[in-house]
Structure 1
Amino acid sequence: MDPIIAHLRTALTLFFALDGFIFAGWVARIPAIKAQTGASTGDLGLALLGVSAGAVATMMITGRLCQRYGHQSVTVAAAVLMSLSVALPARTHSTLALGLVLLVFGAGYGGLNVAMNSAAVDLVAALRRPVMPSFHAAFSLGGMLGAGLGGLVAGHLSAATQLSVLTVVGLVLTGFAGRALLAHPVPQRPREQPPASGTRPRPHQVREPMHGADVLRGAGGSRQRGEPGKAAARRARRLVSVFGLIALCTAYGEGALADWGALHLKQDLNAHPGIAAAGYSVFAATMTIGRLTGTALLERLGQTRALVAGGATAAAGMLLGALAPTIWLTLIGFAITGLGLANIFPIAIERAGALTGPSGVATASTFGYGGMLCGPPAIGFIADWYTLPIALTTVALLAAIAAAIAYATRHALRPTDG
């Protein structure tokens, strides 16, 4: 591997890990912040929407910022903003102030996610290997480390001290990784365009498989011969929305299990609180394992097959997790769900970025984040109408929908990868 590419990959991996580490560290101190501000549960919920609002609003403009200033510069700037702003919630004493500072924190979080994923898309193209899951595995590992350390020190450090430490760690790592990231530009390739509607490429139009999937070749590098550029661009944008919908289906399940998995184990299956708390940990651990092995999986199956297999696996796992009559079968179901969902989001983000660049990453990320936001309240409403186990089956339904979308659009998404 080219040493420059290797350094860039290491630096970018550190940014993904830092993102997960800081966010999880903040989440671990939410109870302390709630007590500090004197917020009711409802008021805290409204304040926490500040993170979501700031993230979604920033994701919508970060794509344009990346196109103007470059992925790497925006990645470093967003990481600095996120690192500085994570200390602010511990300095507030009202829910209004908390909501306002969380808008800033959410802006850093949303901007970093779009910018570093955009940089990762170009690095994946330069490496000519499907390594996107490894970046998201770093995010998962950083989140597990941040949550674990946050829980360990919660009884020894105040929220203000712990979040200030996160700021220092974030700035130091940003300085270290950012220096390497800014030293060399990530090699970029021309954006891919989908084939004309209802057509498939002839054999002479494709290269050898590149990470399990082919790209079109010909006049202009990526445009189907005789196809108007505007029509190709419209199709590319529609396909980005398709990948965004797939990302939404994945993130819906992740958000639902994070908020409702433990309650299902405790309330519906009478699990011990410690076992109930382990439910999401099992899901997160297998998701991390799935992402660590994602590159090998993609090289073997290709992207479309990986999407279909992942969605089908997650659907089966969640049906078991939601409807199983015993605790251990439920935990096995959660584990299978984590393996199934592991690589769907990284694939969707990478493909959206390959089609239209940072704007594609921003669109797909916004879809995905919307799914994570919609999942928990949707589960709550359905549980009120029916039962929590029935509500959790919607995770299986959306995973199956993601698999069906990937299969139905397989020729348009990746002409020779189906």
Structure 2
Amino acid sequence: MRMSFRAAVSVLFFVNGMTIGSWAPKLPTLMSRLEISESVAGLIVLCLGAGSMCIMPVFGAMVARRGSARAVAIAAWVSAPLLMLISLAPDVWSVGAAVFLFGGFLGGMDVAMNANAVAVERNRSRAIMSSCHGFWSMGAFAGAAGGGLLIQSLGEMAHGAVIFAITAAGLAVALPALLQDAPAGDAPRAPLRLPRSPVPYLLGLMALTAMIPEGAILDWAAVYLRQEMGSSLAVAGWGFAGCAATMAVMRFLGDAIRHRLGAVTTLRVSAVIAMTGLAVAGNAGTAGLAIAGFAMAGIGIANMVPIAFSAAGNMPGLAAGMGLSVVTMMGYSGILLAPGLIGWLAEHASLGPIYLGLALLLLVPLAMSRLARSADFEAGQP
């Protein structure tokens, strides 16, 4: 029996999330193996974001020209073995280059799979974006929670090999079943210029400020728990895992919540909950309380980004993938670039006050929440 379009794109979200989640416990391992400080580790994280910023627009254009199914297949297969390449890299420079490619092609995959999810929403005349991101968070939870245990028990290289094997199996099943949304051969090509309307850029700013805290948890929660609270590597991986677990649950509930409350109200409530969770984590005196704070932050962060992506993907008058590419690229600059700055700040202050500051940052999407109206649509129409 053929896998449904929704199931196929959901597998891709899971695989992408698992790979990103596997990065969370890897950073403290790299710091130990390469004997580097937080500021140098921050530069490695910056390579992750730089790769994403450079390669994401290429895949946005590819989605517009060729459709999301082809674009996501290329990005997914190229990114699949890169975690092993990071494990094999012998020094800071080669690790930085491998991380650049890792961030770039995972980011390209992200643009394409979100575009495919929007196409499936239109095909089904029903919102699925939050649940797709739920599968991403489920994968991220598995990658973060299991990654620390795998590295601790089997070693860094074996960890990369296991993740590659799972990824390859998922891609082999899901890619042939994707919705083929490529434009017809005789269809006129829309111009691939950047949007002139300010709305995609404002939605991108909303996504950026929502994703900076997520990136700070992804990259630095394990360091916070291990170096500032003295937890083991296995426990440290639960900083992001706790966040990803609650994000997964709330994203599976998110489509129904959004349908009941509307995108704007859902975004406002989510921002307040996320701010509270970050404040708890930043003030925590124990690893358990910090993990609980990160989990609460995940409840709030969960549906903020899917709402921004749906709003961008359902904007009329733009070439397919271009509005979403703008929002995705700006948003992922938050999850990928800002943690590099956090590494520099962590050299001069503890991570606790930094998480408190990130709680205040969420006042931005709270203030801009009315822009999310276009995420609400009936019968597949924006």
Percent of residue pairs bearing the same amino acid type: 28
The Cα RMSD (Å) is 3.4
1:404 paired residue number: 367
Question: Which one of 73, 95, 105 corresponds to residue 76 of structure 1?
Answer: 73
TM-score in terms of structure 2 length: 0.81
1:228-247 paired onto structure 2 within 5 Å: 234-235=196-197, 238-247=198-207
Structure 2, unmatched stretches of 5+, are 184-194
What amino acid is the match of 1:257?
I
1:227 paired residue number: none
Range with greater deviation from structure 2 (317-326 or 166-175): 317-326
1:198-227 superposed Cα distances (whole Å, 9 cap, x missing partner)? xxxxxxxxxxxxxxxxxxxxxxxxxxxxxx
Structure 1, unmatched stretches of 5+, are 189-232
Shift of 1:179: 1.0
CA separation of 1:276 and 1:372: change in aligned 2, threshold 3 A: same
Question: Which one of 367, 372, 381 corresponds to residue 330 of structure 2?
Answer: 367
What amino acid is the match of 1:185?
Q
Indicate conservation of the 8 Å contact 1:252/1:375, yes or no. Answer: yes
1:12-411 paired onto structure 2 within 5 Å: 12-30=9-27, 38=34, 40-41=36-37, 43-181=40-178, 184-186=179-181, 234-235=196-197, 238-261=198-221, 278-323=238-283, 332-355=292-315, 356=318, 357-379=320-342, 388-407=351-370, 409=371
Shift of 1:128: 2.2
TM-score in terms of structure 1 length: 0.75
Shift of 1:134: 0.8
Aligned length: 362
Structure 2 CA distance, aligned partners of 1:155 and 1:85?
A: 20
Shift of 1:333: 4.1
Shift of 1:56: 1.3
Indicate conservation of the 8 Å contact 1:282/1:331, yes or no. Answer: yes
Structure 2 CA distance, aligned partners of 1:119 and 1:336?
A: 29
Indicate conservation of the 8 Å contact 1:39/1:94, yes or no. Answer: no
What amino acid is the match of 1:303?
A
Shift of 1:145: 1.4
What amino acid is the match of 1:403?
L
| Greater RCO (CA < 8 Å, at least 6 residues apart) | 2
Shift of 1:114: 0.5
1:357-406 superposed Cα distances (whole Å, 9 cap, x missing partner)? 31122211111122123543555666777775443222222222201111
CA separation of 1:282 and 1:299: change in aligned 2, threshold 3 A: same
Range with greater deviation from structure 2 (245-254 or 395-404): 395-404
